[in-house]
């Protein structure tokens, strides 16, 4: 870029005073230019930094001798770096990013922490701390520039996203939770915001209330949870995992940080209960499972252990104190070598993901167990906390759990679905239940995955600068915008997704999308090895690890030993029907084997109806 200093011609009255003033101005400018060249030590390269531009319509640019009266060109690289950073910091964030992509010089200038510090101060004047990380100011500025909470109502004529009122004190958005009338937002510094009366109903249509008020519910929060059911009517209380300073000895000033769980009434934000733990126990996540009278709080420690305690929500509003027992969960008691990385839950089941990518399941009701696994063979009603391991082909990164189906995403970006498929919520193209994880082959590398009551949503990257929302399952009530009849495959929904969308959630009334971009968080997807793409078929998900070429043979030998252990022919026929249901066969193949086994059973006089056994229907 070339900057030219235009010398002002003396157009005023021809007086001696004016000529002397103009001469003085020229001398001052000449001395300033010399000082600037000496300061930047670029005097010898001035000729190399000059750029001559030519315009096709106006002809070539004039030479230096022909434009002596117009001054000498000055490169922006001659300016002090502090001055350039100060000027660039006034640009909008979008223009700043675009300017940084023009050349190497502007890329270094636009990526300086000084520029992002000034931008962060402009975006969030009340921000006291820039946070942590390798690039704290840049991370903080982008978090506050991209933060936003959007929603789209399922009913009514309005089919577009609306943006909520953003709390000025929020340092980005990390998590959110909608309730019946309010919304709770957790930022990256541990401040939990309570957006009161965020939604109002006007003529049957959900709208954001423009005069929405937000208050700081609590500080130092790590995580929060509420009733895991999709219907927000049941979310009466909010459980917040936070860190508080507690006095070591009564009467002294010394204190230490202790983790605690505070229970708030979601309708008013009033705290009704608080439980404090010993300072040696530090937690990082909390989830809920069970009914209101036997609500189990599952707490994940920093070491990867799971603790639980039971609370009766019907007695929380009574002004009294009592002691609850904190016990180690069976997944950590019987499997002490496991280190749980994250967990998710619904009303009757819990899913654990270890740091090695393993998945363990807890199912507490027989109906949900049958929907998820297709059988009740391994279900023990007397020991519902015993974890069940899922056999998977690769390391699992994150998961989603609905009422009776689940979704898993592995390290290669592949999506696996399992469970009830009555409405096509698995996205496999049919409505057949899956008792084991089944890959959805036409979807790869999702940003996030969400499973609801009878539909599923996937947020994916359609191109470099756009994202799209895909959905499958039941479309009643507008749950799949643009597909009122639903779909058994993942289809693109008519929703304009924000560029920095990172999380989503759907209730009975509307769809929520959280927007926030963290430059230090990236999904570590790997490229699928060539041996798994072409040439070598993938092993079954239920036969063990994919690295074991003899896994299928070992499974068949186990099946044969089970058949051999049966004493009568009828028992062997029934066992064979169960084994056919377990094997990874196509639906037509399973129907063929079941029909053939029924024919053989009838020929032997055993009777029996046509089709799979009762445990497989």
pLDDT in tens, 319-356: 776 677 889 999 998 888 889 999 999 888 999 999 98
What residues make up the domain containing 86? Answer: 81-127
> For residue 478, what pLDDT is reported?
85
Burial, 456: exposed, middle or buried (Cβ in 10 Å; 0-12, 13-18, 19+)?
buried
> For residue 51, what pLDDT is reported?
39
Q: In which element (H, E) is residue 550 found?
A: none
In a domain, residue 91? The reply is: yes
In a domain, residue 461? The reply is: no
In a domain, residue 357? The reply is: no
Mean pLDDT of the chain: 78
**Count of positions (residues) in the chain:** 617
In a domain, residue 34? The reply is: no
Burial, 58: exposed, middle or buried (Cβ in 10 Å; 0-12, 13-18, 19+)?
exposed
Share above pLDDT 90 across residues of the chain, in percent, rounded to a whole number: 25
CB 183 within 8 A of CB 509: no
Of 122, 35, 141, residue with least CA distance to 79: 35
Share above pLDDT 70 across residues of the chain, in percent, rounded to a whole number: 75
> For residue 250, what pLDDT is reported?
61
> For residue 533, what pLDDT is reported?
55
Terminal alpha carbon distance of the chain:
73
Number of H helices and number of E strands within the chain?
13, 34
> For residue 213, what pLDDT is reported?
75
In a domain, residue 570? The reply is: no
CB 167 within 8 A of CB 185: yes
Judge whether residue 85 has pLDDT over 60.
yes
CB 176 within 8 A of CB 225: no
> For residue 59, what pLDDT is reported?
44
pLDDT by residue (tens digit) across 391-450? Answer: 888 899 999 999 899 999 999 999 999 999 999 999 998 999 998 999 998 888 999 999
Most confident of 39-48, 81-90, 213-222, 416-425: 416-425
Question: What confidence tier does 541 reach under pLDDT thresholds 50, 70, 90?
Answer: very low
In a domain, residue 506? The reply is: no
Judge whether residue 267 has pLDDT over 60.
yes
In a domain, residue 419? The reply is: no
* Residue, of 58 and 591, whose pLDDT is higher: 591
Judge whether residue 57 has pLDDT over 60.
no
Judge whether residue 604 has pLDDT over 90.
no
CB 206 within 8 A of CB 509: yes
* Residues paired with residue 469 on neighbouring β-strands, in sequence order: 459
Judge whether residue 151 has pLDDT over 50.
yes
Judge whether residue 454 has pLDDT over 60.
yes
Q: In which element (H, E) is residue 37 found?
A: helix 16-40
Question: What confidence tier does 49 reach under pLDDT thresholds 50, 70, 90?
Answer: very low
Question: What confidence tier does 36 reach under pLDDT thresholds 50, 70, 90?
Answer: low
3-state secondary structure 49-86: HCCCCEECCCEECCCCCCCHHHCCEEEHHHCCHHHHHH
Taking the C-alpha atoms of residue 73 and residue 526, their distance in angstroms, rounded to an integer, is 51
Neighbours of 269 (CB within 10 A): 17
> For residue 538, what pLDDT is reported?
45
Judge whether residue 66 has pLDDT over 60.
no
* Residue, of 39 and 228, whose pLDDT is higher: 228
* Residue, of 596 and 345, whose pLDDT is higher: 345
Among 181-195, 206-220, 256-270, 271-285, name the one with the lowest average pLDDT.
Answer: 206-220
- Stretch 557-568: mean pLDDT: 80
* Residue, of 249 and 231, whose pLDDT is higher: 231
Judge whether residue 209 has pLDDT over 70.
no
Judge whether residue 30 has pLDDT over 50.
yes
In a domain, residue 476? The reply is: no
> For residue 58, what pLDDT is reported?
43
Taking the C-alpha atoms of residue 598 and residue 499, their distance in angstroms, rounded to an integer, is 56
Taking the C-alpha atoms of residue 360 and residue 408, their distance in angstroms, rounded to an integer, is 12
- Stretch 506-527: mean pLDDT: 86
Instruction: Please state the domain count of the chain.
Output: 1
pLDDT by residue (tens digit) across 473-492? Answer: 998 888 898 888 999 999 99
Judge whether residue 24 has pLDDT over 70.
yes
**Strand ranges in 464-599 using DSSP code E only, listed in sequence order:** 466-473, 487-492, 501-506, 510-515
Question: What confidence tier does 198 reach under pLDDT thresholds 50, 70, 90?
Answer: low
Most confident of 118-122, 200-204, 462-466, 525-529: 118-122
Judge whether residue 224 has pLDDT over 90.
yes
> For residue 2, what pLDDT is reported?
37
Q: Is the dihedral of CA 177, 473, 207, 169 positive or negative?
A: positive
């Amino acid at each position: 870029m070339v900057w030219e200093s235009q010398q002002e011609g003396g157009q005023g009255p021809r007086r001696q005073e004016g000529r002397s003033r103009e001469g003085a101005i020229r001398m001052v400018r000449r001395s300033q230019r010399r000082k600037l060249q000496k300061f930047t030590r670029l005097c010898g390269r001035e000729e190399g930094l000059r750029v001559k531009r030519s315009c096709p319509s106006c002809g070539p640019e004039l030479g230096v001798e022909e434009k002596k009266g117009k001054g000498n060109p000055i490169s922006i690289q001659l300016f002090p770096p502090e001055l350039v950073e100060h000027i660039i910091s006034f640009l909008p964030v979008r223009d700043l990013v675009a300017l940084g992509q023009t050349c190497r010089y502007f890329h270094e200038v636009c990526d300086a922490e000084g520029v992002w510090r000034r931008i962060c101060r402009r975006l969030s004047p009340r921000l006291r701390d820039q946070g942590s990380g390798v690039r704290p100011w840049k991370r903080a500025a982008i978090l506050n520039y991209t933060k936003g909470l959007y929603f789209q109502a399922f009913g009514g004529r309005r089919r577009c996203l609306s943006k909520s009122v953003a709390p000025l004190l929020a340092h980005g958005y990390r998590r959110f939770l909608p309730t019946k009338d309010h919304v709770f937002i957790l930022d990256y510094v541990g401040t939990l915001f309570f957006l009161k009366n965020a939604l109002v109903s006007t003529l049957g249509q959900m709208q954001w209330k423009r005069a929405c008020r937000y208050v700081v519910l609590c500080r130092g929060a790590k995580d929060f949870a509420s009733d895991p059911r999709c219907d927000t009517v049941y979310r009466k209380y909010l459980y917040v995992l936070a860190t508080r300073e507690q006095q070591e000895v009564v009467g002294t000033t010394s204190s230490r940080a202790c983790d605690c769980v505070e229970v708030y009434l979601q309708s008013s934000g009033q705290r009704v209960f608080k439980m404090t733990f010993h300072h040696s126990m530090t937690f990082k996540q909390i989830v809920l499972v069970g009914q209101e009278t036997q609500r189990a709080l599952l707490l994940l420690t920093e070491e990867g252990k799971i603790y639980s305690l039971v609370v009766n929500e019907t007695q929380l509003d009574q002004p009294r104190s009592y002691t609850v027992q904190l016990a180690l969960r069976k997944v950590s008691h019987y499997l002490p070598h496991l280190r749980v990385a994250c967990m998710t839950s619904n009303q009757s089941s819990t899913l654990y993901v270890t740091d090695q990518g393993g998945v363990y399941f807890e199912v507490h009701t027989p109906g949900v167990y049958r929907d998820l696994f297709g059988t009740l063979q391994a279900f023990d009603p007397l020991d519902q906390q015993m974890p069940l391991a899922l056999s998977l082909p690769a390391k699992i990164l994150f998961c989603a759990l609905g009422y009776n189906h689940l979704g898993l995403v592995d390290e290669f970006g592949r999506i696996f679905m399992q469970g009830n498929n009555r409405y096509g919520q698995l996205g496999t193209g049919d409505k057949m239940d899956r008792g084991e994880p089944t890959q959805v082959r036409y979807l790869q590398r999702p940003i996030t995955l969400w499973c609801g009551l009878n539909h599923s949503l996937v947020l994916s990257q359609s191109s470099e600068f756009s994202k799209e929302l895909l959905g499958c399952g039941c479309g009643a009530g507008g749950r799949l915008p643009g597909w009122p009849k639903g779909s058994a495959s993942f289809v693109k929904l008519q929703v304009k997704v924000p560029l920095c969308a990172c999380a989503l959630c759907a209730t009975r009334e509307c769809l929520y999308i959280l927007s926030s971009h963290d430059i230090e968080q990236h999904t570590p997807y790997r490229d699928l090895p060539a041996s798994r793409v072409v040439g070598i078929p993938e092993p079954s998900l239920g036969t063990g690890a994919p690295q074991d070429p003899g896994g299928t043979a070992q499974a068949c030998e186990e099946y044969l030993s089970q058949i051999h252990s049966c004493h009568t022919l009828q028992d062997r026929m029934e066992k064979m029907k169960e084994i056919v249901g377990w094997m990874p066969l196509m639906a037509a193949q399973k129907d063929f084997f079941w029909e053939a086994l029924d024919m053989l059973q009838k020929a032997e006089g055993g009777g029996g109806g046509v089709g799979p056994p009762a445990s497989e229907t």
